[in-house]
Amino acid sequence: MFSATLTAGTTYLGLRLRGLRRSQQEPAAPVRSLSVFCQPADATYGEWIAACLAMAARTRVESYRALDPPAPAPNGSPTWSVCVLSTTWETLGSPMLDHYGPDAELLIVVRIEDCATPPELGGADIVDIGHLDEVSARTLLFHELVARGVLAEKDLPETSALPSAGGTPFPYGGPAITNLGPPAPTFVGRDALVRALRAQFLHPGDEDHDVSAVAVVGMGGVGKSSLAVNHAHRYRRHYDIIWWITADRPTSLRAGLARLALKLGVPELADADLLIAELRRALRERGPWLLIFDNADSVEDLRRHWPSGDGGHVLITSRLADWSGLVPGRAVLRVPPLSGDHAVRLLCDGTGDDDPEAARTVARLLGRLPLALTHAVAYVRQAATSLAVYGRLLEDSLEDVLTRFQPSDSVQPVAMTWNLTLRRAAERDPLTLDLMRLWAMLAPEGLSRDLAGEGVPDLPGHLTPVAQDAVAYDLAVQHLHRYSLIRIEAGAAEVHRLVR
């Protein structure tokens, strides 16, 4: 037994000695060099991914660079790069993408939210972690890096190791404080506008204001509120606070701001103005945030309660076209009706009636206005009819349908949208109604802006004296244009067919 034990022990010692000599002869496994790059707006995700990579053995994150191509590793070996892909890339380009190209072999793309893939990365494999919690995101990230040969299984950290435990927080997936409603289910054809809106927030270009503001304007029913709510949902990851405020009346504006103040822990005060003043102070200490003033009807009302705070964004939806003093002119985005193809898609998808010709007829009769199109979808579905039958009904009784049909008890007929706007304009100048009646009898497009100007006889109603008063006529036109009831370009006026 002693001999057997000795032999076994000798064999074991021999193996250990041979293994020791081999380990001394073989070079140590190289340290991998990795670089993380992202847009500045996505820095929190970039830092978290870099912290993840740094936990792996024999791995060195050479640099965390927002936009510049990584430098070669010191030992001359190639550097793997991780691109953090987000919606920000849709509005901000980068030389990084040209540096790698779609066939890059040393690029890992980690997508952190639902977004389009830039053409330069069209051939790249993508790791989606935007919908995951920290543990799942870390697990998937390491799994994909091992599968691509970037990391070795043996070099991975313990499964319980998380960057947040080491002081690098996992980015939040959405606002902690919000009253945002669900996205509009029939939202189509607005991707370019959504990106343009986001681009304005990323490039405010106004150093005199600490809040970046954008206004989306247009006639009633054109889809301004839908654009705002879908924009907020798409970019919700970038905000800690998203708050929707109905701003068509001073009372509703103050009430919405007061509710946000209480949500942020501001002590309740009997004086609403003092409470809102405390809210402004609270917002200066918070961020990033997005306030949406929906259907705003007064520049002065908003100016009186205008928020402040670095990293704050304000989005205004309004029929009013002029927001001078609050929003730079280039940040006022006009929302047009849908294109013909997108209107057809909305009607066919919404009704389940695959009849594009009938849908095109309905879209034409309704002026491709999103509100009227969604009402058309509701009418067809509730009446169990077809787009073709509905189109014939519109040709015979357009005004009757728009005035009488309500999709639900809480939704007004389409015509009520413009009746309210016309009343608001008439409150400022009664001449606006007479001018609209005149233009409503004429072709909707190609009208001269000065049609009722000096020297034009036989004008109806109160417009007769206006023919001799250029200032009065200009003021009436201004009110119609201000409330987006008409559109004026290069001296020509355009009235939407449904407003007529």
Q: In the predicted model, what is the mean pLDDT of the chain? A: 79
Residues in the chain: 500
Q: Which ranges of the chain have pLDDT less than 50?
A: 1-28, 73, 101-103, 454-455
Residue 34 · residue 56 · CB < 8 Å: no
pTM beyond 0.85, yes or no = no
The sheet that has 32-37: what strands, in order across it? 59-65, 32-37, 80-85, 107-111, 126-128
User: Residue 53 corresponds to which amino acid?
Assistant: L
Residue 305 · residue 255 · CB < 8 Å: no
**What's the confidence (pLDDT) of residue 279?**
92
Using one digit for the tens of pLDDT, what is the confidence trace for 286-298?
Answer: 878 999 999 998 9
**What's the confidence (pLDDT) of residue 23?**
44
Question: What stretch of H or E contains 403?
Answer: helix 387-404
Cα–Cα distance between 248 and 294 in angstroms, integer? 7
**What's the confidence (pLDDT) of residue 2?**
33
C-alpha distances (whole Å) from 83 to each of 91, 122, 148, 168, 360 are 16, 13, 15, 19, 43
Angle among Cα 364, 365, 369 to the nearest 5 degrees reads: 75
**What's the confidence (pLDDT) of residue 223?**
92
Q: Torsion angle, CA of 241/242/248/251, rounded to 10 degrees?
A: -30
Cα–Cα distance between 305 and 292 in angstroms, integer? 13
**What's the confidence (pLDDT) of residue 313?**
94
Residue 376 has what DSSP assignment? Answer: H
Residue 470 · residue 452 · CB < 8 Å: no
Cα–Cα distance between 405 and 142 in angstroms, integer? 56
**What's the confidence (pLDDT) of residue 490?**
63
Using one digit for the tens of pLDDT, what is the confidence trace for 9-57?
Answer: 444 444 444 444 444 444 445 677 888 888 777 888 888 998 988 898 8
Using one digit for the tens of pLDDT, what is the confidence trace for 59-71?
Answer: 877 655 555 555 5
